[in-house]
Amino acid sequence: MNAADVTRAEANLRPVTRLTPIEHSVRLSEVAGVPILLKREDLQVCRSFKVRGAYNRISQLDPSEREVGVVCASAGNHAQGVAFACQSLQIHGTIYLPVSTPRQKRDRIRALGGQWVELDFVDGAFDHAQQVALAHAEQSGRTYIHPYDDPAVMAGQGTVAIELFRQLEGGVETVLVPVGGGGLIAGMAAWLKEARPSIRIVGVEPAGAASARAALDHGSPKTLAGIDSFVDGTAVGRTGDRTFEVVRALVDDVVVVDEGAVCTEMLSLYHQDGIIAEPAGALATAAVCAAAAGRIGDLGLSGPTVAIISGGNNDLSRYAEVMERSMHYEGLRHYFLVTFPQQPGALRHFLDLVLGPEDDIVHFEYTKKNNRDLGPALVGIDLARPEDLGSLLARMEASPLHIEQIPTDSDLLRLLI
């Protein structure tokens, strides 16, 4: 896969995909100190860049391959692209999805594919779904449409680079790209580095599924022991073999951001910019904020920077979890085990002497124990500012109540967030 492949893919996709806009972000530009521009792939057909790769690959099938049909595995967005292509080209497809795929994405896949696609759900994350799909393809003779590690898919996804380069007339210094399996960043790097080698290309991964960073550190793709599937669009336990070679050769850096930072940025995009981004879609801009706050290393931004908003297929029912993770990451939400005397006035004492004037109880679980003097309660408290924690802990220490803060690495806390 090279720049010429990406150029051919762009011509192939032009009648099918949208030329998505580039928007200047005042908020992020102020944070970064350089112009930050958003490439809005959340406004693409199927609300994700993934349709570019899926359609480019499926449209190249020969007549006999089209007759047999296709198979794919996906965390959601690639499946929508495959479904769209199957419907458009009238090719039957079977799509394997992790059971954790948000309902919104499931419904969209069905709507896009109609009678041409069949959905099958698999326990575990994407990597297991891919194993099942590959076995099906081998048994049935259908063509497996890889979500990233395929030259035609990489070339199709890389057409994002051609668009943004033309839209900005080459006036871009750095491009921030979300990374899952690596198809998008590999395709973009192949074209951009030939168009202008000085452009800096930085990949962004979530901490819970940083397979590309692990591969670069290891020197070859390696399978992660486990992943956090919250950023479902990039929840890949092993980066692609083909994409890795391109990333290693052409990408300047791959950085890792905490899922909590992604959640905070999702909320900022929604509340301040009016953009509904899925978790993977907020990765690139989350890196801008995390770097400015000193939570990750310097991104090396020296001029106009494009951040790819890669998708907007977010289930609104997830926003409660998004808020929880964000508040915890920002140091604004903390959980405690409080042992109350089972007598009148104990809770009033806690409220009057321990809770600060701007502190807010957001979680309270207590079950009265018969024939016992003491009863435990699980209490979640929101602070107005992270620095308020010190005074809260001091008041707790001075209180006659036994209060224990739940550590951030506690299994109980992981259940809560």
Catalytic residue chosen out of the listed positions 50, 74, 105, 193: 50
Taking the C-alpha atoms of residue 17 and residue 14, their distance in angstroms, rounded to an integer, is 6
CA-closest candidate to residue 254, choices 193, 176, 197, 307? 176
CB 67 within 8 A of CB 61: no
Taking the C-alpha atoms of residue 307 and residue 172, their distance in angstroms, rounded to an integer, is 11
- Please identify which residue in the block is written with the tokens 């003779």: 141
Taking the C-alpha atoms of residue 290 and residue 259, their distance in angstroms, rounded to an integer, is 11
Catalytic residue chosen out of the listed positions 25, 229, 268, 310: 310
The two most distant CA atoms of the chain are separated, in Å, by: 79
Is there a catalytic annotation at residue 368? no
Helix, strand counts (H, E) of the chain: 18, 14
Is there a catalytic annotation at residue 369? no
Amino acid in position 83:
A
Torsion on CA atoms 293, 297, 298, 304, rounded to nearest 10? -80
- Please identify which residue in the block is written with the tokens 């905070």: 264
Q: Which residues contact 129 (CB under 8 A, 6 or more apart)?
A: 73, 74, 96, 97, 98, 122
Taking the C-alpha atoms of residue 10 and residue 31, their distance in angstroms, rounded to an integer, is 33
Q: Which residues are catalytic?
A: 50, 310
